[in-house]
Amino acid sequence: MSETTENVDTVEITVNGRAVMARKGEMVIAATDRAGEHIPRFCYHPRMSPVGMCRQCLVEIDTGRGPMLQPSCMVPVAPGMVVDTESPTTKRAQEGILELLLANHPLDCPVCDKGGECPLQDQAFSHGPGESRYVEEKRHYEKPIDISALVKLDRERCILCDRCTRFADEVAGDALIHFVERGNATQVMTYPDEPFSSHFSGNTVQICPVGALTATPYRFKARPWDLEQADSTCTTCSVGCRTSVHSSRDRVLRFQGVDDDNVNWGWLCDRGRFNFESIHAESRLADPLIRTAEGLVATDWSSAMSITADLVRSALERSGPSSIAILGGARGTNEDAWAWAALADALGVTRRDAQLDDGLPVGVLGFERATIEDAARAATVVLLGPDLKEELPILHLRLRHAAVEGRTRILEFSPTGSGLTKHAWRSVRTPVGAAAATVAATLADAEVAAQLGSGPVVIVAGRHDLASSGDQVMAAVQAVLRAVPTATVLPALRRGNVVGALNAGCRPDGAGNDARSILVDAAEGRIEVLFLLGADPLADVPDADLARRALQGARRVVSLDGHGCASTMVAADVVLPAAVMAEKSGTTTNLEGRVSTVSHKVTVHGTARPDWMVAVELALALGHDLGVGSLEDITGRLASGGAALGAIWAPSIAVGEPVTVESVAPSGYDYRLVVSRVLYDGAVSTSNSASLAPLTAGPGVSMHPLDMERLGVVDGDVVTVTAGRGGVELPVCADDRLDRGVVWVPFGQGGGDPRELISGGAVTDVSIARVS
Amino acid sequence: MARFNETNLATAHEIIARYPRPKSALIPLLHLAQEQDGYVTDEAMRQIADLVGVTPAEVIGTGSFYEMFRFEPTGRYLINICGTMSCALLGASDLLHAAERTLGIHAGGTTADGMFTLHQAECQAACTEAPCLQVNYRYRFRMTPDGVEQLIDDLRAGRLDDEIPPHGTLARVRQHIPADRGVGAVDPDAVDGPPAWIPVTVEGAGS
């Protein structure tokens, strides 16, 4: 799809009497689409392999033996081919197929969610016979059955186009739905008691050409003709998928994926697709709040702003700018981050970090940067990152596609394995605390070296393990770069606009200014005012105890927050309600550095304001003019700094010093802890979405079955996991993908919180005992 | 009962090893499961999915396409009485009634002792011998109601054990292919030359 025409052999064919240049190897329907001749279709989807299931795209094709009806989605173009998409024979064939498809399809369009945007409805009008000769009773099935918590299936409406099942198998790699039975009884079905719980199930709803698959969060919420649409960008994670935001009566009702060649190919993960519910959640903050003896009480913006300005002014007077710190910014737009960085610059505040000690040192952005497309076309992708399927799901899809197609070989280093392990060329179980050494040893292998020498190498680097330090990952990246100096790096940082915020200046300036040192200083009483920009240290900082002490120790906490997160409600002295995505315009930057727009679609909740506005006003109150009065001013400033729309924006950020990490020998404790994120965790947008919140798997600890045997526990038993500082109780489950001596705990699942075990050391060792 | 017993699990691994790709063994393993339990159990499908590296949904999707795989408990003897044209004209309904009366079940049901499952079937391609029926796919031609009663009696008494094995049995003697006679698990993508089953001496093979 993304090749440029010059590089591809072309084939000349004739479509409806007109010469058309087609790309060699493509199907007739793809060539006619680009030539502007529409052929009706149901099963064909440009991002999936053709199957010829629905027969609706029959057209007359003449390859020299006279015109014959052939499915245009299954016939590759050939020189001199003559295609007629409008001949009487073609028309009769297409009408016939539609009549057959409608023989069993119920005419319940008035009560069907798809009505108004339904390819079957539309094409029945445009290419159908108008009337049916079938008078027989139609097929009946039990009305919608849940095939997952998010997707319902109306089998009566299904036309068996194989789009959803093909998507599940080919694209998502979760073949949890399949055709069962045969002939007239054929239907799409899951295995009994095994729901379609794919991270990508929502895409099947979007590509279903009829109303057979519907999404629970959107069912019966609106009619398509009532929806207003605006193209935007998903900021749930840093992949930055293009979306279309659909709203009605000033409420966001759904997100649909928009096909972007460079990024998401039209797909969205379920978390990004369905977390629109959090925009209108009850936990949204409507008014500024001030902490008084009675707790947080509502106030107005002018009081809140003047109090905030006073706090800043007195902090500056008493202890200078180093007593002010800003955490967060990654949940906002580039404009938000720029304004806060500009405010900090004006005040001389250098202590700022868009990450919460849960990412990588900012130097990771200083390496030669790769794009997603680079990674998907590289000969080798070295995965040093998180489980992409859980953290950056669409990047997972793109890399999975590249690996399945055989273009790219994946060399994975992971202590636990990931969703890409089964597609990896090599998956190396990396001992936590010795990643760099393992990487160096593996790369010294002749076969691996030959593979790395065979073409471009892209390193995907992110923080898989919150229980060991990010320096471990940096050291591993540097180990790969020592072996392959031409390799480029795709930073797999997680938060929506974390790269944009770091680029725009919400980044620690030199050592001692990053989130961890800010938190340590706060805990020790050296921070007068701590700003939280959509940041929730109590929920996100891996070292829970440090976060608690920091929020207690900071003299004043000012939180700019959309949802009233834990840190805000527990610790903030001033709470400023912030506009969230879909309530503000601007630009966002994805992990590649690609800049795209976010759209203001619905009215802000209450009196909430975008972050940038708060920064500009606060600056004015403190006697600084940032020189911008509108969003456009800031976007203009960013553009002059290179942040043009659609372009890659990468200000030079110094690569950190070479990191050497001593491998850490196992301590007296028995097991090394790995804590990593899964798709559905306690994140604000997930936990405030009614449909997604129940999908968190719940707390648990996974360990090797032989280790469980040694402890004398079986699946479901509760164990106590103890580190130097404290212990938590978790149910145990077996996972033979783990090395012995390694235990894995998912992050943010409620219950026993693994963050109580993490104290910011290079690694976290724990002991485990049975609760008798 | 539901999962493969030890012997059958060994057989399953042997079958899988015959194919270049484990997934190819899916249907033979469904047969093996049906042979063991008389029908394909849910547990067996999960186990097959694990063994050949697909999802259970793919197993049930493939299995349910084929009429002769059964997914509900099935009697030791599956009696299919043809109800299509020739047989219908020559008294198939009398046969069915006789069978229903003798067995005390309706078509589609299974006797409480697990001995018999009765079905009305479509044409069994023996129209010249109508009316016909099949017991575990073994024909009985030109049947009469009395003949049906006699047949059921014989089956129940075990007098036909030599002729008609329990439902699901493909063959009494399982064929074992010695490893040296098998093609082996060659990755089809890794083969440069002609297909392994074409002797290299054949002129022009593989060109």
Same structural domain, B14 and B65: yes
* Closest residue on chain A to B42 (Cα): A192
Interface contact A404, partner B, CB < 8 A = no
Of B57, B64, B65, the CB nearest to A175: B57
Position B194 scores a pLDDT of: 67
pLDDT band at B20 (very low <50, low <70, confident <90, very high): confident
Last residue of a domain, one of B71, B90, B110: B71
Helix (H) or strand (E) holding A728: strand A727-734
Total number of domains in chain B: 2
Same structural domain, B51 and B89: no
Same structural domain, B114 and B141: yes
Nearest to A540 by CA among A357, A275, A687, A701: A357
What do you get for the CA distance between the two ends of chain A, in Å?
59
Of A174, A180, A182, the CB nearest to B60: A180
- Report the C-alpha gap between A441 and A527 in whole angstroms: 44
Report CB contact under 8 Å: A191, B45.
yes
Contacts of A177 in chain B (CB under 8 A): 57
Same structural domain, B51 and B87: no
Q: Are A732 and A713 in contact (CB under 8 A)?
A: yes
Half-sphere exposure of residue B154: CA atoms within 13 angstroms, side-chain side: 13
Q: Are A196 and A190 in contact (CB under 8 A)?
A: yes
Report CB contact under 8 Å: B42, A192.
yes
Nearest to A151 by CA among A224, A205, A220: A205
Query: Could you identify the residue written with the tokens 């849940």?
Result: A146
Phi, then psi, of B23 in degrees rounded to 5: -55, -30
- Report the C-alpha gap between A500 and A335 in whole angstroms: 9
Give the residue from A147, A180, A198, A404 with the most B CB atoms within 10 Å of its CB, the best one to mutate: A180
Nearest to B176 by CA among B39, B3, B60, B7: B7
Give the residue from A176, A177, A178 with the most B CB atoms within 10 Å of its CB, the best one to mutate: A178
Last residue of a domain, one of B71, B87, B102: B71
Same structural domain, B19 and B43: yes
Residue A172 per-residue DSSP state: I
In this prediction, the residues of chain A whose per-residue pLDDT falls under 50 are 1-7
- Within a domain: B128: yes
Contacts of B22 in chain A (CB under 8 A): none
Q: Which residues contact A277 (CB under 8 A, 6 or more apart)?
A: A217, A688, A689, A690, A691, A692
Contacts of A182 in chain B (CB under 8 A): 64-67
Q: Which residues contact B66 (CB under 8 A, 6 or more apart)?
A: A182, B27, B30
Structural domain containing residue B33: 7-71
Residue B206 reports pLDDT greater than 50: no
Write out the two tokens for A11: 């084939």
3-class SS at A191? strand
Same structural domain, B64 and B131: no
Minimum distance, in Å, between the CA of residue B117 and any CA atom of chain A:
20
Contacts of B45 in chain A (CB under 8 A): 191
Contacts of B54 in chain A (CB under 8 A): 175
- Within a domain: B182: no
Report CB contact under 8 Å: A181, B55.
no
- Report the C-alpha gap between A525 and B123 in whole angstroms: 88
- Report the C-alpha gap between A382 and A530 in whole angstroms: 38
CATH number at residue B136: 3.40.30.10
Q: Each residue of B81-124: pLDDT tens digit?
A: 999 999 999 999 999 999 999 999 999 999 999 999 999 999 99
Same structural domain, B34 and B65: yes
Q: Are B38 and B168 in contact (CB under 8 A)?
A: yes
Q: Are A610 and A586 in contact (CB under 8 A)?
A: yes
By DSSP bridging, strand A727-734 and strand A701-703 are parallel
User: Is the predicted ipTM greater than 0.95, yes or no?
Assistant: no
Minimum distance, in Å, between the CA of residue B89 and any CA atom of chain A:
27
Query: Could you identify the residue written with the tokens 């002010």?
Result: A324
- Within a domain: B118: yes
Last residue of a domain, one of B46, B71, B96: B71
- Report the C-alpha gap between A327 and A5 in whole angstroms: 46
Write out the two tokens for B77: 């003897």
Residue A625 per-residue DSSP state: -
Helix (H) or strand (E) holding A58: strand A58-62
- Within a domain: B137: yes
Cα angle A552-A554-A559, degrees, rounded to a multiple of 5: 95
Cα dist from A252 to A256, A279, A339, A471, whole Å: 11, 8, 27, 40
Residue B205 reports pLDDT greater than 50: no
Query: Quick one: how many helices (H) and strands (E) in chain B?
Result: 7, 4
Q: What is the DSSP string of A587-607?
A: EEE-TT-BEEEE---SPPSTT
Minimum distance, in Å, between the CA of residue A172 and any CA atom of chain B:
13
For chain B, list residues whose CB is within 8 angstroms of any CB belonging to chain A. 42, 45-46, 54-61, 64-67
Contacts of A164 in chain B (CB under 8 A): none
- Within a domain: B138: yes
Q: Are B175 and B182 in contact (CB under 8 A)?
A: no
Q: Are B55 and B111 in contact (CB under 8 A)?
A: no
Q: Are A576 and A621 in contact (CB under 8 A)?
A: no
Position A4 scores a pLDDT of: 47
- Within a domain: B167: no
Same structural domain, B151 and B102: yes
Position A1 scores a pLDDT of: 44
- Within a domain: B183: no
- Report the C-alpha gap between A772 and A749 in whole angstroms: 24
* Closest residue on chain A to B56 (Cα): A191
Same structural domain, B93 and B130: yes
- Within a domain: B103: yes
Same structural domain, B52 and B87: no
Same structural domain, B99 and B134: yes
CATH number at residue B44: 1.10.10.1590
Contacts of A174 in chain B (CB under 8 A): 55
By DSSP bridging, strand A242-248 and strand A228-233 are antiparallel
Same structural domain, B111 and B136: yes
